[in-house]
Amino acid sequence: MSNKVLMKGNEAIGEAAITAGCRHFFGYPITPQSELPAYLSKHMPKVGGVFLQAESEVAAINMVYGAAAAGARVLTSSSSPGISLKQEGISYLASSELPAVICNVMRAGPGLGTIQPAQADYFQAVKGGGHGDYHNIVLAPESVQEIIDHVRLGFDLSDKYLNPAMILLDGALGQMMEPVDFGDYKPELQEKPWAATGCKGRKMNAITSIHIDPRDMEAHNIKLQEKYSKIRESEQKCEEWMLEDAEIMVVAYGLCARICKSAIRVCREKGIKVGLFRLISLWPFPEKKLDKAIDKVKEVFVVELSAGQMIEDVKLVDNGRKPITFHGRMGGMTPSVEDISDRIELIHDRITQKVG
């Protein structure tokens, strides 16, 4: 216990970023991620870093663009409406192949909505809320400890692939406190010979996302797609929890996955063979393991804090093999453990009858 400190999720993002060598943060205030800028405004100066509150989310993401172009590890964060405003900038980052970490501490939408937890920005994060064919690397932590791991991983992957990485969490995760251990991690810092640092002793570097000749633009897109394939090949992440003997597989991520874990415990106590497939990387979608996992179960049960978004990717992997059912809550509401365990029981009863 001695290395453990009690920390809010949002603060953990900040401390994790600092330990990952990030020295630049640009953001605009929004609930429910306020503890992050508060933390960094206090701690960045202590490590010689820059905390700058931008005039807007649009300015913030473009400051991130500049800092990334200049070769820095850079972080920004916001919540749903603010992330919508960043979509042009994110598309630019992806196209210019600039690394940056973007946290979306989601709240309930659409519109101004409310500040309670939601997962309704899945499509935006994963399919690309901005224009054009691009992908963010998207990670979805389920605990404060995992927030730390994901922020660090986000920086490392982002630098490795020269691609924006998004940490997708929700206000509950951002504001809850849990004991965490910062361990001893060394960031995988990369050389950035392409960065805009002043051209002393070399040719000038130009960082841009315009390729006016469509043949060049297509070539650029093909290059991006090849990179995405590589990421898809190498970076799928998931947790298979109590799935060994499971007949029912719950699929969920983030906060919602934790509720499901509690529900699965309840069901297991009743002898129901149910397990969890928890997405850790939302993009790349962990399709390889999910594909195999689907083969072994009788039914898939997707739980989201949305009207049903991630379920589409599950269905694409399933491709008609197994029945998929869904439960979603919206608008900042979360299902209770009982709610989920009851539904699992119902599925179990149905399956058993079918079988029996």
Under the binding rule (CB under 6 A), the answer on residue 85 touching ligand TPP is: yes
Q: How far apart are CA 304 and CA 12, in angstroms?
A: 24
Residue 87 CB, nearest approach to its own copies (Å): 4
**DSSP conformation class of 307:** S
> Among residues 12, 63, 282, 317, which is the contact residue for other proteins, using CB under 8 A?
63
CA 210 to chain centre: 28
The one of ligand TPP, its own copies, other proteins, none whose footprint includes residue 200, by CB under 5 to 8 A per kind, is other proteins
Under the binding rule (CB under 6 A), the answer on residue 81 touching ligand TPP is: yes
Under the binding rule (CB under 8 A), the answer on residue 94 touching its own copies is: yes
The token duo for 50 is 């820059």
Q: How far apart are CA 8 and CA 152, in angstroms?
A: 17
Residue 343 CB, nearest approach to its own copies (Å): 17
Within 3-32, which residues bind ligand TPP (CB under 6 A)?
Answer: 28-30
Beta carbon nearer to its own copies, 47 or 316: 316
Under the binding rule (CB under 8 A), the answer on residue 45 touching its own copies is: no
Beta carbon nearer to its own copies, 50 or 333: 333
Under the binding rule (CB under 8 A), the answer on residue 59 touching other proteins is: yes
Q: How far apart are CA 255 and CA 172, in angstroms?
A: 8
Pairing of strands 274-279, 74-78: unpaired
The token duo for 271 is 């002898």
Count of residues binding its own copies (CB under 8 A)? 68
Beta carbon nearer to its own copies, 148 or 317: 317
Kindly state the helix (H) or strand (E) to which residue 100 belongs, with its residue range.
Answer: strand 100-106
Within 119-148, which residues bind other proteins (CB under 8 A)?
Answer: none
Residue 20 CB, nearest approach to other proteins (Å): 16
Within 232-291, which residues bind other proteins (CB under 8 A)?
Answer: 255, 258-259, 261-263, 265
- Here's the x/- map for its own copies, 250-279, by CB under 8 A: it reads as ------------------------------
DSSP 70-98: TT--EEEEE-HHHHHHTHHHHHHHHHHT-
Under the binding rule (CB under 8 A), the answer on residue 115 touching other proteins is: yes
Kindly state the helix (H) or strand (E) to which residue 193 belongs, with its residue range.
Answer: none
Residue 314 CB, nearest approach to its own copies (Å): 11
Under the binding rule (CB under 8 A), the answer on residue 209 touching its own copies is: yes
Cα distances (angstroms) measured from residue 186 to each of 209, 298, 324: 31, 42, 41
The 10 Å CB-count burial string (b at 16+, else e) for 25-54 is bbbbebebbbbbbbbbeebbeeeebebbeb
- The torsion defined by the Cα of 225, 227, 199 and 71, in degrees rounded to 10, comes to 120
Q: How far apart are CA 178 and CA 143, in angstroms?
A: 8
Amino acid at 229: S
> Among residues 69, 102, 169, 311, which is the contact residue for other proteins, using CB under 8 A?
69
Under the binding rule (CB under 8 A), the answer on residue 112 touching other proteins is: yes
Angle of CA points 172, 239, 181, to nearest 5°: 60
Angle of CA points 75, 79, 85, to nearest 5°: 85
Q: How far apart are CA 3 and CA 267, in angstroms?
A: 34
Within 103-122, which residues bind its own copies (CB under 8 A)?
Answer: 106, 108-116, 118, 120-121
Within 49-68, which residues bind ligand TPP (CB under 6 A)?
Answer: 57
Residue 102 CB, nearest approach to other proteins (Å): 14
- Chain residues binding its own copies by CB under 8 A are 58, 80-85, 87-88, 91-92, 94-96, 106, 108-116, 118, 120-121, 123-124, 127-134, 208-222, 224-225, 306-307, 309, 312, 315-316, 319-321, 329-333
- Chain residues binding ligand TPP by CB under 6 A are 28-30, 57, 81-82, 85
